[in-house]
Structures are given as structure tokens and as C-alpha cells.
């Protein structure tokens, strides 16, 4: 199993300091997820807004690893459940537990699982190269879409898979794939920078 990026950054610290730094990284990814939720673009033909959250969830989880990545998203959901305004701002969709019961609930509830998968694959070295990290992020994004569309199928009056796909998959899949291909460059670039920084300087 490979160390995650956060593991590598904190490897030289004392065990107690390392634990504090890693916990801080979890909180930081939670905060970034909440911040990404505020960049939400409502679409007139679907109750699901366009956000950058999935990419933050997946990249953050790759940096943290499976368990810490999942913990960051469970913390995010817990903050939302107690009523803090961490979910995407919406005049129609309330904050709090009601958001998880609404049309975006499936996407939100998928985040811990998607984060675990992306983090698990990062622990197997998938975040070191662009092509493999694309696959890791695609695996996580597939979970997000599957849960989101599945939940829409359950709660919509028609209980129609076709209607759920029209509301929660077709309007977003191309844009999310573009975001995925761009975001997939983040972790390999960070690893290259770290390797370059640690490489001994042989110039004279």
C-alpha cells in the first residue's frame, strides 16, 4: 500500500503532531467541500444544481486516503444535518436534514462512499499518474451518479428511471467529465512537485 499525499507530508512529524496535522487535513477537506457547495448554478429544468463538489470530494479523498477521506465527508454531512449552511444555497431546497430527503440527497449521501473509493485507489498508487487517477476519479464519480439518480428514482412521483436520468445525469455528465479530466491532473502534479523537492541537487 502506498502512502497518501497527506501521509507523505506528515511522515517526519512526531506521532502526536502527525495525528493533529492529519485531523486538520480532514477538516480542511470538509471546509473545501462546503465552500465548493456555495458555487452552485441552478438549472431551470432540474432541481439538482450544478456544483464543483464531486471534484473536491474525490481529489480531497485521494490526498487523505480512504478512511480519512470518508471521515471528511461524514463530517460534512453531520455539519449539514445539524443545520449549518454547508449545503448549496437554494431558495427551494432547505438546509438541514430535509436536504438529504430532497432531490439532491442521493448525491450528498454518496460522498462518503465515493471518497472511500477514491482514497482506497490512491492508497494503491492510482493518484501518482494522470491516466490511473482519471480511472480512480471516474470510479468515485460513478458512485455519485448512481446514488444520485437512484435516489431521484425513489422520490420522484413517477418513479421513472428515465425521468431520473433526465433530471440528474444527462445535464451534468459531460460537464463533470470535463471537470474530472482537469481535476485529475492535480494529484500527479503535487506528487511531481514533492519528488522534485526531495531530489538531491547535483548541480555545481
- Give the cell for residue 92: 427551494
CA distances from 43 to 48, 49, 80, 153, 199 (A): 7, 6, 22, 19, 48
- Give the cell for residue 78: 453531520
Phi and psi at 199, nearest 5°, equal -70, 130
Are the beta carbons of 168 and 152 closer than 8 angstroms? yes
Per-residue pLDDT of 107-162, as tens digits, reads: 999 999 999 999 999 999 999 999 999 999 999 999 999 999 999 999 887 778 99
Per-residue pLDDT of 175-203, as tens digits, reads: 999 999 999 999 999 999 988 877 765 55
| Distance (Å, whole) CA 181 – CA 164 | 25
Is the pLDDT higher at 90 or at 170? 170
pLDDT at 65 exceeding the cut of 90: yes
Q: Find the helix packing angle between 130-155 and 173-183, rounded to 10°.
A: 150
Helix, strand, coil distribution of the chain in percent, nearest 5: 70, 5, 30
- The reported pTM is 0.92
- Structural domain spans, the chain: 5-198
Least confident of 18-27, 102-111, 154-163: 154-163
Fold of the 5-198 domain? Arp2/3 complex 21 kDa subunit ARPC3 (1.10.1760)
**Binning pLDDT at 50, 70 and 90, where does residue 204 land?**
very low
Amino acid at each position: 500500500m502506498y502512502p497518501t499525499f497527506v501521509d507523505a507530508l506528515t511522515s517526519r512529524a512526531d506521532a502526536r503532531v502527525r495525528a493533529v496535522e492529519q485531523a486538520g487535513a480532514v477538516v480542511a477537506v470538509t471546509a473545501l467541500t462546503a465552500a465548493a457547495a456555495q458555487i452552485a448554478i441552478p438549472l431551470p429544468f432540474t432541481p439538482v444544481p450544478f456544483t464543483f463538489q464531486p471534484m473536491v470530494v474525490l481529489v480531497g479523498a485521494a490526498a487523505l486516503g480512504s478512511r480519512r477521506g470518508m471521515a471528511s465527508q461524514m463530517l460534512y454531512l453531520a455539519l449539514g444535518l445539524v443545520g449549518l449552511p454547508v449545503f448549496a444555497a437554494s431558495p427551494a431546497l432547505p438546509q438541514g436534514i430535509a436536504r438529504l430527503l430532497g432531490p439532491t440527497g442521493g448525491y450528498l449521501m454518496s460522498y462518503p462512499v465515493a471518497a472511500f473509493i477514491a482514497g482506497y485507489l490512491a492508497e494503491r498508487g492510482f493518484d501518482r499518474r494522470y491516466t490511473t487517477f482519471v480511472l480512480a476519479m471516474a470510479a468515485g464519480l460513478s458512485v455519485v451518479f448512481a446514488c444520485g439518480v437512484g435516489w431521484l428514482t425513489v422520490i420522484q412521483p413517477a418513479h421513472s428511471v428515465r425521468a431520473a436520468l433526465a433530471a440528474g445525469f444527462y445535464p451534468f455528465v459531460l460537464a463533470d467529465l470535463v471537470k474530472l479530466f482537469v481535476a485529475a491532473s492535480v494529484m500527479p502534479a503535487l506528487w511531481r512537485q514533492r519528488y522534485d523537492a526531495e531530489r538531491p541537487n547535483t548541480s555545481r
